[in-house]
Amino acid sequence: MQAMRWLPLEANPEVMNQFLKQLGVGSSWQFVDIYGLDPELLSLVSRPVSAVLLLFPVTEKYELFKAEEEAKIKSHGQNVDSSVYFMKQTISNACGTMGLIHAVANNRGKLDFENDSALKKFIDDSLSLSPEERAKFLERDESIRVTHESSAQEGQSEAPSLDDKVDLHFIAFVDIQGHLYELDGSKPFPVNHGQTCEDSFLEDAIEVCRKFMQRDPDELRFTLVAFSKA
């Protein structure tokens, strides 16, 4: 059976905010652009920040690092808080929506939702599921699929066709119980990047993102957005 494919989502805060609005998420938190990694540009991002999304190119160097990182974690182990909401990705090109779900699900206590919010219902109904079961649950969720499809047609660049090979990937960073977690549905588990706090979360997440860029110094296709208090 052929794997499901969606159109890729653009790393555009306007599109992301509209996506969440359509799924019944209130506007008290909004996605905003991060224009650069230096302190002056980071100071332009309104605080607090509850999640950071990184769009980056999947290259051979990254794939090699990813395999080494997975082997190291499996060998040495890591602590992952039981409250982390993590889901596997089984739908091609759905990583943008996965990033949004990871950002919202892990900050659901801070957000306001409409009474009939489709995204809140999805999160509530999948809380007791495993990461793999959540992936299957997403495959069957029509409201999120339809919203993703319409959002993928928005934005400033022309949407590619479903058959186009896309080598860009979204991941999310969140603060759970004072630890910085990387949530990537293409990995077998969340990655704990160590301690953080609300005041330093943005800078701590940026330091991890900086390493992604340093691994591929010739690449320019990196985009960062923050989920911050409006």
Domains of the chain (ranges; CATH) run: 13-229 (3.40.532.10)
pLDDT of residue 157: 47
For position 54, what pLDDT does the model report? 97
Task: Identify the helix (H) or strand (E) that includes residue 195.
Answer: strand 191-195
* Cβ neighbours for 142, distance < 8 A, ≥ 6 positions apart: none
pTM of the entire predicted model: 0.93
**Mean pLDDT per 10-residue section of the chain, whose length is 230 residues:** 73 93 96 96 97 95 96 97 97 92 97 96 98 96 89 60 64 98 97 97 97 92 95
> In the prediction, which pLDDT does 153 show?
79
What is residue 182's predicted lDDT score, i.e. its pLDDT? 98
What pLDDT does 37 receive?
A: 94
pLDDT on residue 3? 66
Give me the active site residues, please.
Answer: 95, 169
Number of C-beta neighbours around residue 34 at 10 A: 23
Which sign, positive or negative, has the C-alpha torsion 207, 152, 50, 193? negative
pLDDT of residue 1: 42
